[in-house]
Structure 1
Amino acid sequence: MQTFTFKSDNRLLETRGFAKIYHVCEDIGKKGIFDDFIKLREFSLKPGMGFLPQLHRSVDIITIPLKGIIEQNNDLGNKLIAQNGEYCFLSTGSGVMHYEFNKSYDENLHCLEIEIKRKASEKNSPKNTILKLEERSNTLLQINNRYATGLEQYSIYKGTSEKGKAFTHQLQHYENTVILYVIKGDLLINESTHLKSKDTFASRYTEALTITCTKKSDFILIELPLQNLQQKTA
């Protein structure tokens, strides 16, 4: 099994005055992991503030509100509003201009964002929708329904658990890559790797992953057929 761990204090912090963005990255100055096939970032926006419109092509972007209410607008004419338990899904196709905005004028907005690259030659139509998930404790729930991409298929799960609960995630294929991001809490992976809030873990060449919550925990698990995972340790 190949594995690596990114600790929370090794994330790259980008500040913009009205926003803070924490990138999970391999090297300072590089804001992606796995050669930019997938990017993970957690951001906060001050009350009433938002990002400038930005153009993305051939990517899927899943934005997960952790605290507050987000408004996502794009040049397809969509305006989506989401809060905890809801997820903004944007598949950009040949190109979509979009921006995010903090709907609150009283509190900061905190979100986790997952960006997954598609093949540039793939002719998928742009899509923007809200995915809703019933929050249930001690359960690993699938957010999406295995969207096909240039990486073939990927799946994203949300885990919420009380202290002492253990999960076993069976991978669809032995060579798939599984990535786990701890939103909050304290976990043990395969009874050996200890993760705390904001830590990231990934592995390949394994049939299953056992996740034991040593504290009340929330986490995101991503499985995708990524073939270039390099072995790294914390």
Structure 2
Amino acid sequence: MQKVIHRAETRGHFNHGWLNTWHSFSFADYYNPDRIQFGLLRVLNDDIVKPGMGFGTHPHNNMEIITIPLEGQLEHRDSMGNGSVIEAGEVQVMTAGSGITHSEFNPSQEEEVNLLQIWVFPSERNLTPRYDQKRFDTSKMKNQFLTVVTPNGEGESLFIHQDAWFSLAETDADKEMKYLMHSGNSGVYLFVIDGELEVDGDTLKSRDGMGIYDVPEFLVKSKEQAKFLVMEIPMN
């Protein structure tokens, strides 16, 4: 097993007042030459947006964008005519492809929204832009992997244009789960949302990340109640 660990406190961090944000990989004003990407995973941002605030209309292209709200609500509008609110328990995917513009705002006047925004390089350039979102049964992530993103939308999952599988899990204390890679070219970036895990002898705490590759499977042990995201992506 090859691995790299990114501790929560080593992420890029900026507090803009309306936005408190942490970057696992180089993004905007945060640049770390050792953290440009992991495989084809380019961005993992952990954002907290104040009530009534948000990101004004801005462009994207040639990226698969996955948004996972952890707390609160996020209102989305885009140049494809989509307008919706997503909240914890839902996942949003967007193919920026040949080019889109969109905005994201916290519609609440009282509560913050905390979200993960993730960018993955697509399998092809200049794809037709698309948007989708879905609510998942969070009971299905209890002590098991709930797969929310796949390359082909199998089962209940959403699809993106890449050989990538995203899964969420919520474990009780002292549980052990085995993750099996879908492809020999895959690596996994595991991100701890809450709690404490052990992987290959290393302890991971809330908001720690670990990249894992050159291994067909691995074990995740929960040292206490924990919630985490597994992002399996091509390494090249």
TM-score, normalising length: structure 2: 0.88
Instruction: Give 1:231's aligned residue.
Output: none
- 2:111 maps to which of 83, 107, 113: 107
How far apart are the structure 2 equivalents of 1:145 and 1:35?
17
Deviation (angstroms), 1:124? 2.2
Q: Which residue of 1 aligns with 2:47?
A: 43
The answer to whether the 8 Å contact 1:86/1:130 transfers is yes
Distance in 2 between residues matched to 1:176 and 1:5, nearest whole Å:
17
Q: Which residue of 1 aligns with 2:213?
A: 204
Deviations 1:96-151 (A, max 9, x none): 101111011001110011111225x53422111112211022121100132463xx
Cα drift, residue 10 of structure 1: 0.2
Measure the CA separation in 1 of the matches of 2:41 and 2:149. Answer: 18
* Secondary structure of 1:9's aligned partner: helix
Whole-Å Cα distance in 2 between the matches of residues 80 and 128 of structure 1? Answer: 11
Q: Match of 2:154?
A: none
How much does 1:171 deviate?
A: 0.5
* Paired residue secondary structure (2:174): coil
After TM superposition, list the pairs within 5 Å mapping 1:84-103 onto structure 2.
84-103=88-107
Alignment-mate amino acid for residue 143 of structure 2 = N
Aligned partner of 1:21 in structure 2 is: 21
SS in 1 for 2:9: helix
Change (3 A) 1:26 1:48: closer
Deviations 1:51-97 (A, max 9, x none): 12111101111111111011111111101211111011111110110
Per the alignment, in what secondary structure is the counterpart of residue 139 of structure 1? coil
Separation in structure 1 between the aligned mates of residue 67 and residue 97 of structure 2, nearest angstrom:
17
2:150 aligned with 1:145: yes
Which residue is 1:183 aligned to? 193
Distance 2:53 2:107 in 1: 8
Tell me if structure 2 keeps the 8 A contact 1:139–1:161: yes
Please name the residue that 1:216 is paired with: 225
Distance (Å, rounded) in 1 between the aligned partners of 2:163 and 2:41: 13
Change in Cα spacing, 1:87 to 1:36, as seen in structure 2 (3 Å) is same
**Paired residues of 1:64 and 1:111 also in contact (CA < 8 A):** yes
Q: Which residue of 2 aligns with 1:131?
A: 134
CA distance in 2 between counterparts of 1:38 and 1:69 reads: 24
Task: Output the CA distance in 1 between the equivalents of 2:175 and 2:107.
Answer: 35
Residue 37 of structure 1 and its aligned partner are, at CA, apart by 4.4
Provide the residue aligned with 2:156 in structure 1: none
Q: Contact 1:23/1:32 (CA < 8 Å) preserved in 2?
A: no
Determine the C-alpha separation between the residues in 1 that align with 2:177 and 2:92.
Answer: 26
Could you tell me how far 1:15 is from its partner in structure 2?
2.4
Retained in 1: the 8 A contact 2:143–2:171? Answer: yes
C-alpha distance after superposition, 1:179-220 (max 9, x if no partner): 100000100113x01100000001111010211111111110
Q: Does 1:160 align with 2:162?
A: no
Q: Give the equivalent residue in structure 1 for 2:204.
A: 195
Instruction: Name the aligned partner's letter for residue 117 of structure 1.
Output: F
TM superposition shift of 1:29: 1.9
Unaligned segments of structure 1, at least 5 residues: 228-234
Moved runs in structure 1, 4+ residues, more than 6 A?
none
Q: Is the 8 A contact 1:52 1:99 kept in 2?
A: yes
Separation in structure 1 between the aligned mates of residue 126 and residue 9 of structure 2, nearest angstrom: 39
Question: How many pairs align?
Answer: 223
5+ residue gaps, structure 2, are 152-158
